[in-house]
A and B are shown apart, each in its own frame.
Chain A
Amino acid sequence: MGRIGVFICWCGENIARAFDMDELTEAVAEIPGVRCAIHYKYMCSEPGQALIREKIRSEKLEAVVVASCSPHMHLKTFRAAAAAAGLNPYLVEMANIREQCSWVHEPYEDETVAKAVSIIRMTVHKVLRNRALEPIRVPLTKRALVVGGGVAGIQASLDLADSGYEVVLVEREPSIGGKMAGLSETFPTLDCSQCILTPRMVEVGQHPNIRLYTYSEVESVEGFVGNFNITIRQKARYVDIEKCTGCLECWNRCPSREAPSEFDYGLTKRKAIYVPFPQAVPARPIIDLNSCAKFLRNECGTCLKVCQANAINFDDQDMLVTEQVGAIVVATGYRMYDIGREQENAKYAGYGEYGYGQYRDVIDSLQFERLLSASGPTGGEVKRPSDGAVPKKVVFIACVGSRDNAKGIPYCSKICCMYTAKHTMLYKHKVHDGQAHVFYMDIRAGGKGYEEFVRRAIEKDGARYHRGRVSKITEENGKLIVRGADTLAGAPVTIEADLVVLAAAMRPATGVLELAQKIKLGYDEFGFLSESHPKLRPVETNTAGVYICGACHAPKDIPEAVAQASAAAGKVQVLFSKGELTREPEVASVNEQTCAACFACVRTCPYLAIDKAEIRDRQGNLRKMTARVNPSLCMGCGTCVAVCPSKSVDLEGFSEEQIYEMVNGLI
């Protein structure tokens, strides 16, 4: 190559004040490879661009350097101009002689001029080694997968489905709804959780654009943005929900009533064939083999007999189905920290001192939600589990597990201050002569109307707040002796309570790490999924085409979970708004012949864009392993280039050769 046009801009006086433009242009014309060097008053103006177009044609230029302002200002402009004249836009570079030269150095100093020349020379050296590139085009399947059918997943699914895209919603449990379906009334407005959620659940169940897989899990994820290939495992349910009419005759007649109800967090028992809760979507039963008499002892079969629709199928098997989607929204939510002594990981030592699992009247806050809920096991009357008595004194303990380094969870769970205040209120509304006590460390109530809400619990509903942690709970004569402290009063406090409610920390849902590995998502040390940028890309992830929302990202309440869900849906819509995906072609690639298969690059790539690949000969024998960049995922950071010990990866646009030559040109 040797036909380079250099266009030097005056920017009015902004550049021209610093140089004798003729002299500068003459010096530049001397640089080897430069075919023509021209200066003009305003290069970005239409006449300026026309000049460039004209010279590209007349001088048969092979590459162009515009020496003017920052590339952040006008690189796109000039690349478009070149393209209009038939030159590949990736053969245009800019030399920044305004922001980084004329504006910051004394005018007419020799050094300033020398610097401008060397900046231009460096850019010429680079552009001599630029290659014509085509934007990477990626086909796009305009369907989305949503994983998790809690309030966040529901919101994202409906937003997408309503805007005309097909949605595949995969929910692990037999019904969608998530935690919110079991809540009583919700802060800060105290509206009934089921009243606002169930219509949305029904909408999901009936939406023509939503394909709902309940009692299903994501088995594997292949492909990349625009083209994911998803395998879904539909777990055996033993009830054919296509045939089932939902008459619930089976449920009414099933004689077994042994298993603790998942929906009531063990506060009640449920039957072997059951619908998780009356408003479930789909409102179809499922058989739990572990408590079914037929399966365990071959003693029953009632449901088989009573079902008119022949929907019961004891031979049901797990099924694998595949779906093609272009984007994925993960909304797997949270679970409660297990307060009991048994932990899946010794890091999360339990709270032996609080006697959860030992004293029946020490419960966690989700269980208390059920006790408050009109659809709950007590019909909304607050009765304690041990003897059904109405508790006259209830102690609420905040930050159980949260903010507790010794138990492995240093973070704040963010919503427990609020729901604890809510609990004291709802309790007071139901038990007028009852007294609520709260042990807390700080009250964190940042949100619209939140602080006012907490003050109302204290001022109007008389909850007594003690600032201090509880050390131990013991049970004596049917009372729970709660030993805490009031650090503001500087004294220990002992309260004899009838019921103790522990506001346990929020932890990410079980199994989320396996899911994250399948989708190649990042997560933090606690298992919460990582966003791409905490401020500017809060629902995007580092895997292109994958978005997160709700409590799988961090502890959050319903308003926040829903806002994030809509944001994630919006991001998917942005992605889907194009006919196909195009990406900047300045990406890395591996020289597979020289690659030593050390996979240092695989480990360093922040976007997981490099895979291990096999090279086989025609007989299919493995010849060697190599690294291979997926250009659809590479963001062009170049980290892999720097770590490769055998210099086998290079980055288009910033290749080894280009950079060395630029250094050469500088000095």
Chain B
Amino acid sequence: MLEFGYYPGCALHGSSSDYEQSVQACLKPLGVGLKELDDWICCGATAAHTLNHMLAVSLPARNLALAERDGVTELFAPCPMCSMELIKVNRALDGNAGLRQRVSEIVELPVTGKTQILNLIQVFQRIGVDKIRATVKKPLSHVKAACYYGCLLTRPADTLQFDDPEHPRSMETVLEALGASAVEWNYATECCGAGLTMAREETVCELSHRILTNAAAHGANCLVVACPMCHTNLDMKQADIDRRYGVHHDMMVYYLSDLIGMALGLDETQLGVDKHFVVKPLESPATQAAEMH
């Protein structure tokens, strides 16, 4: 059985609790245990590096220090913003003894920056795509997804060393194991506005609108994300976007974990899919087949 340290980050304990529900529900049948990091603190997100460089280093560093204290070597952070901030600090600490010492003093715990950070997709990669394929109970042949990575899952590429920042393929690979298909489209790594959700709605709506439009134009019947902020912008804001642009996107936005859960035979309510703002049944294979006749 695999076990990872778990850093939920604020969003998963707040307005993206459906994501946490989904992650936990789908990992259980795959035999993955999560051990939540004790007394973790917020990573500071965009706000910290917008306002104070040292804080942007220290807040993630405190969490890395907690992980090191508790002997956690692999830490799963489902929010790409959190995982990117954690990795960035890891890299900054690595090979800079001066900074390590200074930061250790600030966060009151020794920190070396050696913990390996995993995002959602990497957790699935660790489980093994073949194992997932073997565990699938209900292949998702009716799903034609546009995999949306957003900006932070793959960037900055040389720091994260995760997937091609221009043409990532890791989500597609997982989806194919589920029997779903993925469309080729153009906005897989275009930004949705991420952290500006509240502060600058017009920007966020415009960017998200373009993403939804492009996905539909390329024949996707849903979007798949692995980021709470992307989900917020594309799902929660969808009604707002519809109103603003006089359209009706009506696009399901799944977490990658939702689809895995569904393929493993879990109920949508177990995964928290019912808590999304846009909820509608995707055409099942049966109805699609019926239409073709």
Is A353 within 8 A of B166, CB to CB? yes
Nearest A residue to B186 via CB reads A474
B246 to chain A, nearest CB (A): 20
- Whether A352 and B165, one on each chain, are in contact in the complex, defined by CB atoms closer than 8 angstroms, is yes
Contact with B along A158-183 (1 / 0, CB 8 A): 00000000000000000000000000
- B198 touches A (CB below 8 Å): no
* B164 and A476 form a contact (CB under 8 A): no
> Interface 1/0s, chain B 182-194, versus A by CB < 8 A?
0010110000000
Closest to B217 in A: A476
CA–CA, A500 to B127, complex, Å?
42
A358 to B186, CA, bound (A): 11
Q: Is A115 an interface residue (CB 8 A)?
A: no
Residues of B within 8 A of A358 (CB): 167, 184
Of all chain B residues, which has the CB nearest A474?
A: B186
List residues of A (307-356) whose CB comes within 8 Å of B's CBs.
341, 351-353
The B interface, classified by DSSP as helix, strand, loop or mixed, is loop
**A474 contacts across to B, CB distance below 8 A:** 186-187
Q: How far is B154's CA from A353's CA once the two chains are assembled, in angstroms?
A: 14
> How far is the CB of B179 from the nearest CB of chain A, in Å?
25
* Cα(A428)–Cα(B217), bound, Å: 33
Chain A contacts of B186 at CB under 8 A?
474-476, 481
- B214 beta carbon closer than 8 Å to chain A: yes
Query: CA of A477 to CA of B164 in the docked complex: distance in angstroms?
Result: 25
B187: which A residues are within 8 A, CB to CB?
474
Nearest-neighbour CB distance to chain B for A571, whole angstroms, equals 45
**Given A474-B186, A475-B186, A476-B186: A352 and B166 interface contact (C-beta under 8 Å):** yes
In the assembly, what is the distance between CA of A477 and CA of B165, in Å? 24
The distance in angstroms between the C-alpha atoms of A352 and B217, with both chains bound, is 21
Q: How far is the CA of A341 from the CA of B186 in the complex (A)?
A: 16
A475 to B185 Cα, complex, angstroms: 8
Is the pair B167, A341 in contact by a Cβ cutoff of 8 Å?
A: yes
Most buried by A among B165, B167, B187, B214: B167
How far apart sit A353 and B187, CA to CA, in the bound complex (Å)? 11
A341 to B217, Cβ gap below 8 A? no
Q: A474-B186, A475-B186, A476-B186 are in contact. Are A352 and B164 (CB under 8 A)?
A: yes
Contact string, A127-170, partner B, CB cutoff 8 A, digits 1/0? 00000000000000000000000000000000000000000000
Measured between beta carbons, the chain B residues less than 8 angstroms from A477 are: 217
A341 to B184, CA, bound (A): 16
Contact between chains at A352 and B214 (CB < 8 Å): no
A353 CA to B184 CA, complexed, in Å: 14
> B157 to chain A: closest CB distance in Å?
9
With both beta carbons as reference points, the residue of chain B lying nearest to A352 in the complex is identified as B166
Residues of the B chain whose Cβ atoms lie less than 8 Å from the Cβ of A352:
164-167
Q: What 1/0 flags go to A466-487 for Cβ under 8 Å of B? A: 0000000011110001000000
**Is there an interface contact between B164 and A341, defined as CB atoms closer than 8 Å?**
yes
Q: Are B214 and A476 in contact (CB under 8 A)?
A: yes
Q: Determine the chain B residues whose CB is within 8 A of the CB of A341 once the complex forms.
A: 164, 166-167
Q: In the complex, what residues of B have CB within 8 A of residue A351's CB? A: 166
1/0 per residue, CB under 8 A from A, across B232-272: the answer is 00000000000000000000000000000000000000000
Distance to closest chain B CB from A339 (angstroms): 12
Most chain B CB inside 10 Å of its own CB: which residue of A358, A476, A481: A476
Shortest Cβ distance from residue B154 to the other chain A in the assembled complex, whole angstroms:
11
Give the CA-CA distance A6 to B104 in the complex, in Å.
79
A358 to chain B, nearest CB (A): 8
Q: Which residues of A contact B165 (CB under 8 A)?
A: 352
In this complex, what residue of B is CB-closest to A473?
Answer: B186
For the complex, give the distance between the alpha carbons of A341 and B166 in Å: 9
Residues of B180-211 at the interface with A, using a CB-CB cut-off of 8 Å, are: 184, 186-187
Give the residue among B165, B166, B187 with the most A Cβ atoms within 10 A: B166
Digitize B212-225: 1 where CB-to-A-CB distance is under 8 Å, 0 elsewhere: 00100100000000
CA distance A476 to B190 in the complex (A): 15
**Binary contact track B136-174/A, C-beta < 8 Å → 1, others 0:** 000000000000000000000000000011110000000
Give, as a whole number of angstroms, the nearest-CB distance from B45 to chain A.
26
Q: Which of A628-648 contact B (CB under 8 A)?
A: none
Name A354's closest neighbour in chain B (CB-CB).
B166
Cβ contacts under 8 Å, A476 to chain B:
186, 214, 217
Which residue of B is nearest A350, CB measured? Answer: B166
Report how far A353 CA is from B155 CA in the complex, Å: 14
1/0 per residue A231-242: CB within 8 Å of B? Answer: 000000000000
8 A Cβ contacts from A183-202 to B: none
User: What is the distance, in angstroms, from B21's C-beta to the closest C-beta of chain A?
Assistant: 34
Q: Among residues 449 to 494 in chain A, which have CB atoms less than 8 Å away from a CB atom of chain B? A: 474-477, 481
- Output the least CB separation between B165 and chain A (Å): 7
CB closest residue in chain A, given B213:
A476
For residue B214, which residues in chain A have a CB less than 8 angstroms away from its CB? Answer: 476
In the assembled complex, the CB of A352 is this many whole angstroms from the nearest CB of chain B, namely: 3
Q: Which residue of B lies closest to A353 (CB)?
A: B166
CA distance A353 to B186 in the complex (A): 10
Within the assembled complex, what's the spacing in Å between the Cα atoms of A144 and B63? 70
Q: Please, how many angstroms separate the alpha-carbon atoms of A475 and B187 in the complex? A: 11
Nearest B residue to A341 by beta-carbon distance? B167
A288 to B164 CA separation, bound complex (whole angstroms): 35
Chain A residues whose C-beta falls within 8 Å of the C-beta of B166 in the assembled complex? 341, 351-353
Minimum C-beta distance from A442 to chain B (A) = 25
B165: nearest chain-A partner, CB-CB:
A352
Least CB separation from B214: chain A residue: A476
Query: A353: which B residues are within 8 A, CB to CB?
Result: 166
Quick one: closest A residue to B168, CB to CB? A352
> Which residues of A2-22 are within 8 A (CB) of B?
none
CB neighbours (8 Å) of A475 from chain B are: 186
Which residue of A is nearest B164, CB measured? Answer: A352
CA distance A352 to B157 in the complex (A): 13
- For the complex formed, measure the closest distance between the CB of A483 and the CB atoms of chain B, giving whole angstroms: 10
Minimum CB–CB distance for A13 against chain B, Å: 70
CA A125 to CA B39, docked complex, whole Å? 85
Interface residues of A in 279-318 (CB under 8 A from B): none
B140 to chain A, nearest CB (A): 25
Give A500 to B164 CA distance when docked, in angstroms: 23
A351→B184 CA distance, assembly (Å): 17
**Nearest CB to that of A481 among chain B residues?**
B186
Q: Please, which residues of chain A bring their CB within 8 A of the CB of B167?
A: 341, 352, 358
Q: Considering only CB atoms, which chain A residue lies closest to B167 in the complex?
A: A352
Residue of A nearest to B218 (CB): A476
A358 to B164, alpha carbons, bound, how many Å? 15
Give Cα distance in the complex from A476 to B184, angstroms: 11
Per the bound structure, the CA–CA distance linking A475 and B186 in Å amounts to: 7
A485 to B275, CA, bound (A): 42
Give the nearest-CB partner of A406 in chain B.
B158
Least CB distance from B164 to A in Å reads 6
Q: How far is the CB of B225 from chain A (nearest CB, A)?
A: 19
Cα A341 to Cα B217 in complex, Å, equals 25
The CA of A481 and the CA of B190, in the complex, are separated in Å by: 14
Distance A352 CA – B167 CA, assembled complex (angstroms): 6
Q: How far is the CB of A500 from chain B (nearest CB, A)?
A: 14
Bound complex: CA of A604 vs CA of B167, how far in Å? 45
B-binding residues in A (CB < 8 A): 341, 351-353, 358, 474-477, 481
19 intermolecular pairs with C-beta atoms under 8 Å apart:
A341-B164, A341-B166, A341-B167, A351-B166, A352-B164, A352-B165, A352-B166, A352-B167, A353-B166, A358-B167, A358-B184, A474-B186, A474-B187, A475-B186, A476-B186, A476-B214, A476-B217, A477-B217, A481-B186
The 10 closest A-B pairs by CB, nearest first: A352-B166, A474-B186, A352-B167, A353-B166, A352-B164, A341-B167, A476-B186, A476-B217, A341-B164, A475-B186
With A474-B186, A476-B217 given, name 10 new contacts (CB 8 A): A341-B164, A341-B166, A351-B166, A352-B164, A352-B166, A358-B167, A358-B184, A474-B187, A476-B186, A476-B214
